[in-house]
């Protein structure tokens, strides 16, 4: 069984898949408590329902026109806290889903199915958890994966810039997103342009559209 906070259908808003219809499975429970978290109700399993993998797959089939939409994101909370999430990845891949995993990078990615597209959210200083990243996970990042930084301060920006400079990252899919309420996207865009960084500006499209 998996503790599930929500299963829903919306527009993918924060990755290189931005703009595509996507099914979401939001698992409950997190090992971090970032100050800017916008899914606080998913931080604890008390706000969840225990569902089997079969029940999750049935729920996914009931939205997005059955098999019409084959993009699914497993998010949280922190999905990898629940060991059965690894089995869920495998079952979804068998059903020909394109599987995205949103993870904070603190838990080992070693056993994540190779076909899962990992979106690793490296925490910057303003989150309060910039020292929690598991650097061994850099070995498990492939060209199809994405690395994201949520940036709310100048210190966050410098941290993200230095992280990319110091560490070898085996993907070109690098995303800088402004933390809502702390830094606006135009300000972040100007910083990226000034420094000539080869990164993608992430904008939360679903929030602009006022979608879930």
Measure the CA–CA gap between 17 and 24, rounded to whole angstroms. Answer: 13
DSSP 139: G
Instruction: For residue 185, give the CATH number of its domain.
Output: 3.20.20.70
Report the percent of the chain where pLDDT is more than 90. Answer: 88
Report the percent of the chain where pLDDT is more than 70. Answer: 100
pLDDT of residue 39: 84
Residues contacting residue 112 through CB under 8 Å, at least 6 positions apart:
80, 86, 89, 101, 118, 140
In this predicted model, what pLDDT tens digit does every residue of 138-197 receive, in sequence order? 999 999 999 999 999 999 999 999 999 999 999 999 999 999 888 999 999 999 999 999
The count of structural domains within the chain is 1
Q: Which residue do the tokens 């830094």 mark?
A: 183
Residue 11 pLDDT grade (very low, low, confident, very high; cuts 50, 70, 90) = very high
In this predicted model, what pLDDT tens digit does every residue of 57-69 receive, in sequence order? 999 999 999 999 9
Residue 95 and residue 61 in contact, taking contact as beta carbons nearer than 8 Å: no
- Kind of pairing, strands 200-202 and 49-51? unpaired
In this predicted model, what pLDDT tens digit does every residue of 74-100 receive, in sequence order? 999 999 999 999 999 999 999 999 999
Q: Is 182 exposed, middle or buried (0-12, 13-18, 19+ CB in 10 A)?
A: middle
Could you please report the per-residue DSSP string of 37-88? -S-GGGSSGGG-EEE-HHHHHHHHHTTTTTTT--EEEEESS-GGGSTTHHHH
4 against 181, higher pLDDT: 4
What average pLDDT is seen over the chain?
A: 96
Listed in sequence order, the DSSP H helices in the chain are 53-61, 85-94, 154-166, 185-195, 205-208
Boundaries of domain holding 194:
2-208
Measure the CA–CA gap between 168 and 61, rounded to whole angstroms. Answer: 39
């Amino acid at each position: 069984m998996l503790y599930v906070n929500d299963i829903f259908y919306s527009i993918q808003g924060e990755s290189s898949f931005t703009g595509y219809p996507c099914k979401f499975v939001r698992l409950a429970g997190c090992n971090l408590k970032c100050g800017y978290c916008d899914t606080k109700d998913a931080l604890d399993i008390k706000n969840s329902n225990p569902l089997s993998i079969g029940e999750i797959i049935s729920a996914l089939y009931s939205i997005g026109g059955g098999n019409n939409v084959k993009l699914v994101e497993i998010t949280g909370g922190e999905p990898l806290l629940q060991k059965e999430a690894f089995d869920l990845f495998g079952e979804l891949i068998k059903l020909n889903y394109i599987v995205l995993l949103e993870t904070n990078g603190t838990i080992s990615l070693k056993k994540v199915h190779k076909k899962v597209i990992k979106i690793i959210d490296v925490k910057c200083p303003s989150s309060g958890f910039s020292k929690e990243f598991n650097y061994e996970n850099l070995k498990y990042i492939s060209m199809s994966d994405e690395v994201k930084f949520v940036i709310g301060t100048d210190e966050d920006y410098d941290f993200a810039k230095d992280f990319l400079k110091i560490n070898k990252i085996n993907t070109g899919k690098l995303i800088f997103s402004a933390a809502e309420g702390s830094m606006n996207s135009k300000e972040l865009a100007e910083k990226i342009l000034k420094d000539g960084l080869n990164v993608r500006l992430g904008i939360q499209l679903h929030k602009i559209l006022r979608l879930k």
